């Protein structure tokens, strides 16, 4: 150990990844982490503990004292590993008070609990480590616990929903529990995205007139298409409408009139609403080419109403599934009168 550091009883002998075995739980350990407490296996300044967990239990660990300030400025963190020292869960850095309790994997077996320094401490850091278990059940038997039990299963009543599940794009369900209903392809910022085209809409270009900007997209039938509209160039609300190759309307301004997500990722939303409520920056839709003659068409207009006081400038680009290079949209009959409802 480094000279002058009051070594605690749980340091891993500085070179050997030995571990203090926790007996009955809950267990509380008062320790000191020294700069010389380096595990030769893990290569970090750390104290190591070993815990045995029974079937149906979830191991929880909380660090306090040595962790300081807010949830983003702590010094000490806790991680939990299985018997092979493979990380099960990298916890939020916990100050033991306001931050979430750290939760590990579940089920019968042994687990290593690692107390380590975020910044490779150069001084002694005292801490309190609390280990305990809670009972939880995997209700859909897919090996993943619900979020309420500290697990990643966003629907513990459906065995087909959980981490690693096959995602069905655009159905409104987050099958793989990654936080959203994925697109077929990565949308914003993808290298297969076409060069954007720019359109201008005077305030008079509203769906009530009805006057629209028209663009055509050359796409084979049944190909998945991502259509990206960036409304960050203007302050007006936009409405978008897609016609298939037969001229049949599949998307349009819906009765609800709510806006699409105002984010920069590619959340899939049915294109039945106004885009960019309040001039939100960017979103995209996923649709599909259909049998018939002629290209897929997208029509863009300003949303009608008293807020139509500014001209709008927008950009439009596309992605087509399976193509390494996507063609740019081409102008259709710009400012063409489109019957409403289409």
Domains and CATH numbers, the chain: 20-135 (2.60.120.380), 138-182 (no CATH), 197-337 (2.60.120)
- Could you tell me what percent of the chain has a pLDDT over 90? 0
What pLDDT score was predicted for residue 101?
61
pLDDT at 191 over 50: no
- Could you tell me what percent of the chain has a pLDDT over 70? 40
Pick the range with the lowest mean pLDDT from 28-37, 184-193, 298-307.
Answer: 184-193
What pLDDT score was predicted for residue 42?
62
pLDDT at 261 over 60: no
pLDDT-derived band at 17 (thresholds 50, 70, 90) equals low
Residue with tokens 């350990």: 29
* Mean of pLDDT over the chain: 64
Return phi, psi of residue 147, to 5°. Answer: -60, -30
What pLDDT score was predicted for residue 13?
46
Residue 71: how many CB atoms within 10 A of its CB? 14
More confident residue, 293 or 37: 37
pLDDT at 121 over 70: no
pLDDT-derived band at 22 (thresholds 50, 70, 90) equals confident
pLDDT at 274 over 60: no
pLDDT-derived band at 277 (thresholds 50, 70, 90) equals very low
Average pLDDT of span 318-331: 70
pLDDT at 246 over 60: no
Tens digit of each residue's pLDDT (9 = 90 or more) over 130-181:
888 878 777 888 877 777 676 778 888 898 898 777 766 556 677 878 766 5
More confident residue, 233 or 8: 8
Residue with tokens 């100050």: 95
pLDDT at 260 over 60: no
Residue with tokens 């998307």: 251
Alpha-carbon 302 to chain mean position:
31
Average pLDDT of span 292-303: 68
Pick the range with the lowest mean pLDDT from 32-36, 48-52, 88-92, 326-330.
Answer: 88-92
pLDDT at 67 over 50: yes
More confident residue, 166 or 304: 166
Q: Which residues pair with 111 in a beta bridge?
A: 51
Pick the range with the lowest mean pLDDT from 80-89, 153-162, 303-312.
Answer: 303-312
Residues present in the chain in total: 342
pLDDT at 64 over 50: yes
pLDDT-derived band at 295 (thresholds 50, 70, 90) equals confident
pLDDT at 187 over 80: no
Question: Can you point out the beta strands (E) in 151-291?
Answer: 197-201, 211-217, 224-230, 238-243, 274-275, 282-288
Query: Is the separation of the CB atoms in 299 and 331 below 8 Å?
Result: no
Peptide bond into 341 cis (omega under 30): yes
Query: Is the separation of the CB atoms in 269 and 187 below 8 Å?
Result: no
């Amino acid at each position: 150990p480094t000279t002058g550091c009051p070594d605690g009883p749980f340091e891993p002998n500085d070179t050997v990844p030995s571990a203090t075995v926790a007996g009955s739980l809950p267990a509380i350990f008062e320790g000191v982490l020294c700069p010389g407490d380096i595990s030769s296996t893990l290569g970090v300044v750390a104290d190591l503990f070993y815990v045995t967990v029974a079937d149906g239990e979830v191991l929880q660990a909380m660090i306090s004292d040595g962790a300081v300030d807010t949830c983003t400025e702590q010094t000490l963190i806790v991680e939990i590993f299985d018997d092979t020292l493979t990380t099960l869960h990298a916890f939020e850095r916990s100050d033991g008070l306001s931050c979430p309790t750290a939760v590990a994997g579940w089920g019968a077996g042994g687990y290593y609990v690692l107390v380590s320094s975020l910044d490779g401490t150069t001084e002694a850091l005292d801490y309190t480590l609390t280990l305990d278990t809670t009972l939880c059940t995997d209700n859909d038997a897919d090996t993943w616990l619900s979020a309420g039990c500290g697990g990643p299963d966003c629907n513990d009543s459906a065995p087909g929903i959980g981490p690693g599940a096959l995602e069905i794009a655009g159905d409104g369900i987050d099958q793989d529990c990654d936080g959203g209903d994925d697109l077929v392809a990565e949308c914003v910022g993808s290298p297969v995205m076409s060069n954007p085209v720019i359109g201008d809409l005077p305030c008079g270009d509203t769906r009530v007139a009805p006057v629209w900007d028209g663009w055509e997209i050359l796409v084979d039938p049944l190909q998945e298409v991502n259509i990206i509209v960036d409304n960050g160039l203007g302050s007006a609300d936009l409405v978008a409408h897609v016609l298939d190759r037969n001229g049949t309307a599949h998307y349009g301004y819906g009765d609800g009139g709510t806006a699409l997500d105002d984010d920069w990722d590619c959340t899939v939303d049915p294109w039945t609403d106004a885009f960019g409520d309040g001039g939100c920056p960017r979103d995209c839709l996923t649709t599909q080419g259909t049998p018939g003659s002629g290209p897929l068409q997208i029509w863009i207009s300003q949303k009608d109403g008293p807020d139509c006081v500014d001209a709008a400038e927008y950009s439009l680009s596309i992605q087509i599934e399976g193509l390494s290079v996507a063609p740019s949209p081409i102008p259709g009959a710009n400012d063409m009168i489109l019957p409403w409802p289409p």
